[in-house]
Amino acid sequence: MAAAQKKKRAERVLSFRMRIGLTMILVMLLLLGGRLFHVQGLDPAGHAQAAVSERLRSVPLPAHRGDILDAQNRVLATSVDRYDIVADQQVVDDFVRLDEGTGLREEVPVQTGIAELSEVLEIDAEELTDRIIGESRYSVVTRSLTPAKSQEVLDLNIPGLYAEPVTERSYPSGAVAGSIIGFMGSDGPLEGIEAAQDDALSGSDGERIFEVGGDGVRIPIATFEELPAEDGQDIRLTIDQDLQWFAQESIAKKSNQYNAAWGNATVVDLTDGDILAMADSQTVDPAEPGETEELFRRPLALTQDFEPGSTGKAITFAMALEEGTLNPTDGFTVDNRYEVDGQTISDATRHPTLDMTAAGIFARSYNTGTVMIGGEIPEDVRYDYMKKVGIGEPLDIGLGTEANSVLRPPEEWDARQHLTTQFGQGYTTSVLHNLQTFQALANDGVSVPLNLVDAYIDADGTEHPAQTAPGERVFSEQTSEEMLRMFEGVVDYGTAQDAAVAGYRVGGKTGIAEAAGAGGGFDGHTQSFIGMAPLDDPKYLVAVTVHRPQGYWRDWEVTDTFREIMSYVLSSYDDAPTGAKSEAYDGFEGENQDQPW
């Protein structure tokens, strides 16, 4: 009896447990069914899309960066195809590939694949393992492989390894115009045209989107979209590559001769403002910018300002001619010292009292005579003329860095500065500012902005000339003609006789000024010459500047470097010598033009 009751109780417990179990199973089936109904009936597209998204891969299609060309379309900077190898670590695994010897499929452990990759890339296998094995969806294995080397990697068929196309900059001419071209860093362009014109050069990247299977291989019939890249524009500069090289060699030789801090030689087509060469005594190789001192990574004609010295006398004489207070043949009695407004002005060397013309004062570069002439012009008028040619204003040639010039207004000049500004002291200019001034003086009195970029060229070859500001008249044609004859006197019988180029009429102006020290005061000099030729039909300006040359100032000479470069320019651009006679004004009153210095 007791046994029967015990059996019934056991059956009831079992029945209860079965009911509970069945209930739980039913609940689970209901939950699964509800979830299945939600997935299949209510949101099938969303879940399908999520699954597709897990399989989608995106590969950038870099735009081809435009070339930088010289004035004759010779390549100064270009892009070459390279590939970065990247890994989707979640896909990397053992894999199967075809054995070329047997024709059979073989299983390859991933470590074997990494060992083979190590031989191809010549990178330690342990280091490669750290880059390839893990959980990252994007890990850079190595960068900048050639197309051939990249294909070797892909031929290993390691799942999860991809080749991303990139471009790398190449500079066929090395350091020629390096500071103008600029250079690239790991995050993009850093200096020069590369940086300043990046928007035009870079274009717009495209994108390729595709689906991959579990083995990391693209599914041929699945999603595939491609947004093509828009290539960047080529940029043609006004720079002449051959002339740039010659100028670099010439100024490096001159700078080394005097152990100077730096030297610069810049050549300009004065009719349209095109900069044909902008050469420094040292220049950066865009492929190895870190090997060059920071000072020389940007053009010195742009970054360095200094007191111009006697080249600044040109604007003083020109404004006097323009204002009608001076004729080139006006006579002056010139001593080597001159007292005015309680200030003593001296010439660089002692000389006897001379009866000179204004042209002679300019040719011999006497401070005393210059102040006699400049003193006839009100200070505010002189200031306005200086501003009109760009002195005291920033100067932009499209390199992303403006050349600086410092000129205080007359109300801030001290008792001596209103005199020294007449002969190139008491204010600063850059090489480009000096050239801009001389360009106006030699170009019929019309100032045309200096420029470096000639044109932008689309991928299909369509050219877009660079926009330049119109010229502005600063001086009359008569003043320009008179200044050219005065410039010629400087070369004929003045301070720049070594600048003469046989067979051509040449003019210009020498300059020397003290260089300001970092702690105040002056502790060096800047020597320069700016000249133009041929004076029959002025076309070219050449400025040669040497900063902080060592030795005795009377031994310094840069006119020989000018002569070298100007001779090269005239020959290269097929300007034949005319043998025309000089039209320089007499330098002295009376018959005797051979006066002591």
Summarised one tens digit per residue, pLDDT across range 39-52 is 555 555 555 555 55
pLDDT of residue 324: 97
| 29: its two tokens | 């089936």
CA pair distance 323, 315, nearest whole angstrom: 12
Comparing CA positions, the residue from 257, 492, 482, 453 lying closest to residue 364 is 492
pLDDT of residue 15: 66
Q: What is the CA radius of gyration of the chain?
A: 38
Summarised one tens digit per residue, pLDDT across range 445-460 is 999 999 999 999 999 9
CA pair distance 196, 590, nearest whole angstrom: 57
Summarised one tens digit per residue, pLDDT across range 191-229 is 999 999 999 999 888 887 867 666 555 666 666 677 888
Decide which of 78 and 144 is more confident.
78
Percent of the chain surpassing pLDDT 70: 91
CA pair distance 418, 546, nearest whole angstrom: 27
CA pair distance 160, 339, nearest whole angstrom: 86
Summarised one tens digit per residue, pLDDT across range 413-444 is 999 999 999 999 999 999 999 999 999 999 99
Summarised one tens digit per residue, pLDDT across range 241-296 is 999 999 999 999 999 999 999 999 999 999 999 999 999 999 999 999 999 999 99
pLDDT of residue 73: 97
**Mean pLDDT lowest among 244-248, 346-350, 355-359:** 346-350
Query: Residues, the chain, total?
Result: 597
How is the chain split into domains, by residue range? 51-88+180-237, 241-572
Average pLDDT for residues 515-520, to the nearest whole number?
84
Comparing CA positions, the residue from 88, 110, 86, 106 lying closest to residue 96 is 106
CA pair distance 548, 525, nearest whole angstrom: 5
Are 248 and 534 in contact by the 8 Å Cβ rule? The answer is no
Q: Which amino acid is at 93?
A: D
Comparing CA positions, the residue from 561, 318, 328, 566 lying closest to residue 443 is 318
SS3 237: strand
SS3 96: strand
| 254: its two tokens | 């001159």
Rounded to 5°, angle at Cα 83 from 96 and 163: 25
Q: Which amino acid is at 41?
A: G
Average pLDDT for residues 49-66, to the nearest whole number?
72
pLDDT of residue 64: 87
b/e for 558-576, b at 16 or more Cβ within 10 A? bbebbbbbbbbbbeeeebe
Average pLDDT for residues 126-133, to the nearest whole number?
94
pLDDT, mean over the chain: 91
CA pair distance 503, 473, nearest whole angstrom: 31
CA pair distance 386, 312, nearest whole angstrom: 10
CA pair distance 311, 326, nearest whole angstrom: 19
131 dihedral zone (left: phi>0; alpha: psi -120 to 50; beta): alpha
Average pLDDT for residues 333-361, to the nearest whole number?
95
What homologous superfamily does CATH list for 51-88+180-237? Penicillin-binding protein 2a (Domain 2) (3.90.1310.10)
Average pLDDT for residues 309-315, to the nearest whole number?
98
CA pair distance 358, 88, nearest whole angstrom: 80
Average pLDDT for residues 302-315, to the nearest whole number?
97
CA pair distance 289, 190, nearest whole angstrom: 10
Average pLDDT for residues 64-92, to the nearest whole number?
94
Average pLDDT for residues 82-88, to the nearest whole number?
93
Q: Which class is 241-572 in CATH?
A: alpha beta
**CA distances from residue 543 to 270, 328, 451, 483, 576 in whole angstroms, order as listed:** 12, 24, 16, 17, 22
Q: Is the pLDDT of residue 387 over 90?
A: yes
